[in-house]
Amino acid sequence: MGAQGKVVVVMPAYNAARTLRMTYAALPQHLVDLVIVVDDGSTDQTREIACELGLELFVHDRNYGYGANQKTCYREALNAGADIVVMVHPDYQYDPTLLPEIIAPIQAGDADVVLGSRLLAGSVVDQGMPWWKFVGNKALTYMENLVFQLHLAEYHTGYRAFSRQMLEAVNFQMNSDNFVFDQEIIAQVVALRGRIAEVPVPTRYMKEASSASFIQSTVYGFEILWLLGKYVLHRMGVLSLKQLKSLHRRYTPQASNRGDRIRRIGAGGRGL
C-alpha cells in the first residue's frame, strides 16, 4: 500500500473474456493493491480467466445489470479497506495505463471523484464512438451541467475513481441496477457538494468491446431526464429524497481509536 492509501481497482464484468487479460495486463501493478472482478452472470470464460489471473472474484448468481455490478464492486472494495476505488471496464475501452493520472487528484486531496473524460481527449467519433451516442452524450451532458450547475466535459464515462469517504457517504445501494447508476451516483456526489475532477482519457470502440445498444442508450437517456427532474425537486425542497442524502449525516462518531482524520461528507451542514 502506497503512502497515499490503498488503491483498489474494480472491474464490472459481463462476458469480458476476450478483453479481461489485456485490460489487467495494462494496469500499473506497482500502484494497485488489489483488483476485484465482479462477474455479472457471464456465459463465456470471464470467471475462469479472472481465476487464472489470480484476481479477487465475486460471482453474481445471474445477470443483474451494470449498476448492480457496480454496487457489489464498491461494497467489496470498501470491505477490502480501499482508500481509493477505481472502476476500469474490463472490455479494454479505457486505457488502464492512465490510472496514475486518474487517482492523482484524489491522492492530492483536491477531489472526491475523478472522471476520465473522453470528450477532453480529442474526437470520440474518430475513436469509434457512434455519432448518435456522441450527440446523446453532448445533449445529456449539457442538461446535467445546467441542473448540477457544473461545467464538466462529459458525465457518461465508465473510467472513474472515488475516495473512500465519498463512497461511504453516498447511498449507492439505493441506485438502479441499470446503466443510469452511473448518473445517479454523480447526482448523489453533487448533492453532497463533492469535488469532481476530470482527466482526459481516449476511448476505443473495437469489436471485442461491449457497448450499450441503441435501445439501452435511449432508455438510459430518458432515465437521466427523470433523475434530473427528481434532483431539481429535491434541491428546491419540494421532495426530500433519501437517495440524495448523505449516509454520513445519519450518525456522528463519538470516539475513534483510529487516530486518522475522518473527513465527513454531507455531515454538519455541508451539502443537502
Ligand X SMILES: Nc1nc2c(ncn2[C@@H]2O[C@H](COP(=O)(O)OP(=O)(O)OP(=O)(O)O)[C@@H](O)[C@H]2O)c(=O)[nH]1
The footprint of ligand X (CB under 6 A) covers: 12-14, 16, 40, 63, 65-66, 69, 89-91, 93, 133, 158, 210-212
The rounded distance, in Å, linking the Cα atoms of 167 and 266 is 12
Q: Closest distance between ligand X and the C-beta of residue 129, in Å?
A: 7
**Grid coordinates representing 15?**
462476458
Q: Which partner, Mg ion, ligand X, none, binds residue 90 by CB below 5 to 8 Å per kind? A: ligand X
Q: Closest distance between ligand X and the C-beta of residue 143, in Å?
A: 17
Q: Are strands 56-59 and 34-39 parallel, antiparallel or unpaired?
A: parallel
Grid cell 466535459 is found at 153
Q: Which partner, ligand X, Mg ion, none, binds residue 219 by CB below 5 to 8 Å per kind? A: none
**Residues in Cβ contact with 250 at an 8 Å cutoff, skipping those fewer than 6 apart:** none
The rounded distance, in Å, linking the Cα atoms of 227 and 145 is 13
Q: Which partner, ligand X, Mg ion, none, binds residue 105 by CB below 5 to 8 Å per kind? A: none
**Grid coordinates representing 19?**
478483453
Q: Closest distance between ligand X and the C-beta of residue 30, in Å?
A: 24
Q: Indicate if the alpha-carbon torsion angle 165, 171, 177, 180 is positive or negative.
A: negative
- DSSP state, 201? -
Query: Among the candidate windows 61-69, 117-125, 206-214, 237-245, which touches Mg ion by CB under 5 A?
Result: 206-214
Q: Which is nearer to ligand X, 66 or 172 (CB)?
A: 66
Q: Closest distance between Mg ion and the C-beta of residue 188, in Å?
A: 23
Q: Which is nearer to ligand X, 42 or 163 (CB)?
A: 42
Q: Closest distance between ligand X and the C-beta of residue 194, in Å?
A: 22
Q: Which is nearer to ligand X, 206 or 232 (CB)?
A: 206
Neighbours of 38 (CB within 10 A): 27
Q: Which partner, ligand X, Mg ion, none, binds residue 39 by CB below 5 to 8 Å per kind? A: none
Query: 115 and 196 in contact (C-beta within 8 Å)?
Result: yes
Grid cell 482526459 is found at 200
- Letter for the amino acid at 165? Q
Q: Closest distance between ligand X and the C-beta of residue 44, in Å?
A: 11
Q: Which is nearer to ligand X, 107 or 217 (CB)?
A: 217
Q: Which is nearer to ligand X, 40 or 112 (CB)?
A: 40
Q: Which partner, Mg ion, ligand X, none, binds residue 16 by CB below 5 to 8 Å per kind? A: ligand X
The rounded distance, in Å, linking the Cα atoms of 115 and 152 is 9
Residue 185's SS3 state is helix
Residues in 73-92 that interact with Mg ion by CB under 5 A: 91
Grid cell 427528481 is found at 230
Angle, helix 131-148 to helix 181-191, in steps of 10 degrees? 20
Q: Which is nearer to ligand X, 14 or 231 (CB)?
A: 14
Query: 105 and 4 in contact (C-beta within 8 Å)?
Result: no
93 binds Mg ion (CB under 5 A): yes
Q: Which partner, Mg ion, ligand X, none, binds residue 27 by CB below 5 to 8 Å per kind? A: none
Question: Where do contacts with Mg ion occur on this chain (CB under 5 A)?
Answer: 91, 93, 210-211
